[in-house]
Structure 1
Amino acid sequence: MRGRTQPATEAMHDAPCYLNGEFLRVSAARVSVLDRGFIFGDGVYEVVPVYARRLFRFDEHMARLARSLARLRIANPAGRDEWLARCRALVQAEPADDQVVYLQITRGVAPREHVMPEGQTPTVFMMTNPMRPPTAEQRRQGVACTTARDFRWERGDIKSTSLLGNILARQMSADHGAVETIMFRDGHLTEAAASNVWIVHEGALLG
């Protein structure tokens, strides 16, 4: 299992970021309180790992981002090469060799109304942070996990910024002194609250 969480008490890293056409630091980034991502969680995100300063499976991540946007009827605000240039600029601004680039696109700023507004300019936010791999002890000993029914919504094909279900599931493990909650639905393992799950069975890697 590859974790993607950081302790809530960890000092905030003033990460390099990109917001609506400007490169800056997260401490200087500002978004309207009427942004539909803030009001409704009306947006999608994508995460691109970076190993040795190289973006991992960039095109596959961009394809998934495009699918999520299309299913929410949000026009993709950039082409593949523009996304790539922005990601590379952020990676260059972060000293760590291994990083995690986060991209988020919301429907943009509009009056609070559930119906999707037309013609809004999407809000585009990106940032990168140093990757936090498992410790040597965690790799050697493993980590404690809890299990739970996957009670999240059924549109797993949309990588939505609304992650309340994941938060509740992850808190379940924290409340029991564990690292993660592995979720099941209809007898099938779906995923963990904030991690990918991989299984080694008879020498073969399944995931």
Structure 2
Amino acid sequence: MEQIAYVNGSFVPLSEAKVSILDRGFLFADGIYEVAAVLDGKLIDNASHLARLERSVGEIELALPETTARIQEIQQELVKRNNLVNGMVYLEVTRGADTGRDFAFPKGVKPTLIMFTSTKDIVNAPSAKTGINVITVPDLRWTRRDIKSVALLAQVLAKQTAAAAGAGEAWMIEDGKVTEGGSSSCFILTQDDVIVTRQNGSEILPGCTRKAVVALAEERQLRVEERAFSVEEALAAKEAFITSASLFVQAVVSIDGKKVADGKPGPMTNRLREIYVEFAKATAV
């Protein structure tokens, strides 16, 4: 049975899902996207993703063509139509298609809204037990990384470099400090049992899973410090891990070929993953 997608008000077979070649998302990367995880047929932490969507479109003066309540209804309908049990729902909104290719915002153009699903067993992913290796690369991105833009070429290059090296993720480095992963937020656990992750700002995307993990850790009286850290500090740490909607909490066991601690997922990472999965299932919609 062919997968169903959503395009500008219609549910259509994926093979028929099309947008104009004049769409500004295609021509200028003039758009915003979000990815929400699905567990047991329900959306995970979706309110956080929709709030970030509203913030991102607001930062580029892009009006959503539907309310966030309606967007969630569409997401849930896609999950239902595709019989999706575990996976993700991708959504993208662009400024729409104009008749020309002018850089300035066009007038009287309706934004484009598309969505589709993919299957992935995030909870039982083999890498959750083994951990992943990461490599470091220079951070080549623009200065407004807090906006979840569809302009992802720097991340594509970073993750391709990681894939070519047999690594599961790339950590991007700027001014000697880790900003974030190609598609994830970065954490370490210091020798003093402090969970460290970079503070939010224009240098990084405010990760939804990151936000939830920090809150869940603080609720359990775990010490959390939001600041930048170096690769050297990560290699000296007890544990390192990443978070994202597409993998939840994932242990990092080596950086640039050097082991983090004993080169295995640590107890804090494993516990935070368990706590997050419990939270995800309890709050799914």
- Report if TM-score (shorter chain) is over 0.5: yes
The letter for the 1-side match of 2:113 is V
1:132 & 1:40 partners in 2: Cα distance?
33
SS of 1:31's equivalent in the other structure is coil
In the alignment, is the contact (CA less than 8 A) between 1:94 and 1:129 conserved in 2? Answer: no
The C-alpha deviation readout for 1:103-145, integer Å capped at 9, x for no partner, is 1001011110111112210011011111243766423322221
Q: Which has the higher contact order (CA 8 A, sep 6+)?
A: 1
Q: How far apart in 1 are the matches of 2:124 and 2:70? A: 35
Q: Which residue of 2 aligns with 1:62?
A: 50
Q: Which residue matches 2:10?
A: 22
Kindly report structure 1 stretches of 4+ aligned residues shifted beyond 4 Å: 134-137, 203-207
Counterpart residue identity of residue 193, structure 1: G
Q: In 2, Cα distance between the equivalents of 1:63 and 1:47?
A: 12
Q: Which amino acid aligns with 2:179?
A: T
Contact 2:84 2:119 in 1 (8 A): yes
Q: Which moved more, 1:175-184 or 1:84-93?
A: 175-184
Unaligned regions of 5+ residues in structure 2, if any? 198-209, 211-285
Quote the RMSD (CA, aligned, Å).
2.2
* CA deviation vs aligned residue, 1:39-90 (integer Å, no higher than 9, x gap): 1111110111111112112111111101111111111111122111101101
Match of 1:61, SS? helix
| Superposition map of 1:27-46 within 5 A | 27-46=15-34
SS at match of 1:153: coil
Give the gaps of 5 or more residues in structure 1.
Answer: 1-12
Correspondence list, 1:45-84, <5 A: 45-84=33-72
Task: Give the length in aligned residue pairs.
Answer: 195
CA distance in 2, matches of 1:126, 1:74: 17
Aligned residues of 2:187 and 2:195 also touching (Cα < 8 A): no
The structure whose residues are more often helix, as a share, is 2
Out of 133, 150, 161, the residue aligned to residue 150 of structure 2 is 161
Greater radius of gyration (CA): 2
Partner secondary structure for residue 44 of structure 1: strand
Change over 3 Å in CA distance of 1:81–1:139 after alignment to 2: closer
State the shift of 1:35 in Å: 0.6
Question: Compared with structure 1, are the counterparts of its residues 57 and 87 closer, same or farther at alpha carbon in structure 2 (3 Å cutoff)?
Answer: same
Letter in 2 for 1:103: L
Matched residue SS, 2:110: coil
| Match in the other structure for 1:104 | 92
SS for the counterpart of 2:72 is: helix
Q: Sort the Cα spacing of 1:198 and 1:27 in 2 relative to 1 into closer, same or farther, 3 A.
A: farther
Measured in 1, the distance between the counterparts of 2:196 and 2:81 equals 34
- Please tell me whether the aligned partners of residues 15 and 94 of structure 1 are also in contact (alpha carbons under 8 angstroms): yes
